[in-house]
Amino acid sequence: MSKVNVWLYDNLLTPDPNDFYGKVKPQGTLRNNDIADAMVKEGTEYQKETILNILDRSDRIKVSKLVEGYSINTGVCYSHIGINGAFHGATDRFDPNEHRITASFTSSTALREELKKTQVEIIGAATTEPVIGKVIDNLTKAEDSTITPGNVIVIKGNRIKIAGDDSGVGVYLVDQGTNTRCKCEQIVTNEPKQLMVMLPDLPAGNYILEIVTQYSSNNSTLKEPRTTPFEHVLIVE
């Protein structure tokens, strides 16, 4: 049976000192290469290279069929595309400035059943780790979704101030396709509960935001920097 560890964080949105919310302790990110390794370890007649080729090809075909209007139903999720935005009259046309094609994903039956059986262990209150609560694109006001290269994002949370003399401290965006880490060189506002950061010129893709800091709330700096990833994927279109 699967088990996840959960940290409890102080809920800053309420005045109740005993009000906490839980976050699953991340175990890392798996890509097709890791899935292929797991399949080989589990036992299969196929070579890893063959499995990886099939997984990559499967992803490509799923994407191509989704954007043609097909729904995709796999053992992990059910997905389909839709359109956001209002149309003004029955003869109105699609306008990229007013409408957006989006993809929706719903957990599969198998995944929902496994979640019901998953054991949860509360490992305590995370009182010292930085917490990233929300990322806002200052240009479009989008929250925890799309970000605009060359513009400012607002990062809200707790204990997220960038501090310390280690060369690695800062705000990074990690490209999930290439695993390239891009550092944001310009920090406009640097406070324990809010950062305002100018984004570099990022290519289109999916990104994970990371904060690396030696900040400590007791007016001292940590000996080693801590890396805190944001739980939502940020998208550059």
pLDDT digit string (tens) for 118-133? 999 999 887 667 889 8
- Residue 78 domain flag: yes
Task: Place 141 in a pLDDT band, splitting at 50, 70 and 90.
Answer: very high
Q: Count of CB atoms within 10 A of residue 162's CB?
A: 20
Distance, CA of 236 to CA of 103 (rounded, Å): 15
- Residue 49 domain flag: yes
Nearest to 205 by CA among 149, 127, 166: 149
From residue 217, alpha-carbon distances to 23, 104, 134, 154, 158 in Å are: 21, 39, 20, 21, 10
Q: What's residue 121's pLDDT?
A: 95
Provide the domain count of the chain: 2
The set of residues, in sequence order, having a beta carbon less than 8 Å from that of 205 and lying 6+ positions away, is 175, 176, 177, 178, 235, 236
Q: What domain range includes position 39?
A: 29-114
What CATH number did the domain enclosing 63 receive? 4.10.520.10
**Does pLDDT of 84 surpass 70?**
yes
Same structural domain for residues 109 and 134?
no
**Does pLDDT of 85 surpass 80?**
yes
- Residue 108 domain flag: yes
Distance, CA of 131 to CA of 9 (rounded, Å): 8
Same structural domain for residues 214 and 160?
yes
pLDDT by residue (tens digit) across 145-179? 999 999 999 999 888 999 999 999 999 999 998 99
Same structural domain for residues 176 and 85?
no
**Does pLDDT of 217 surpass 80?**
no
What CATH number did the domain enclosing 201 receive? 2.70.50.70
> What mean pLDDT do residues 108-118 have?
95
Q: 192 is written with which tokens?
A: 């324990």
Distance, CA of 71 to CA of 201 (rounded, Å): 34
Q: pTM (2 decimals)?
A: 0.67
Distance, CA of 214 to CA of 164 (rounded, Å): 5
Same structural domain for residues 141 and 80?
no
Same structural domain for residues 46 and 139?
no
pLDDT by residue (tens digit) across 7-25? 888 776 778 878 888 889 8
> What mean pLDDT do residues 112-121 have?
95
Same structural domain for residues 40 and 91?
yes
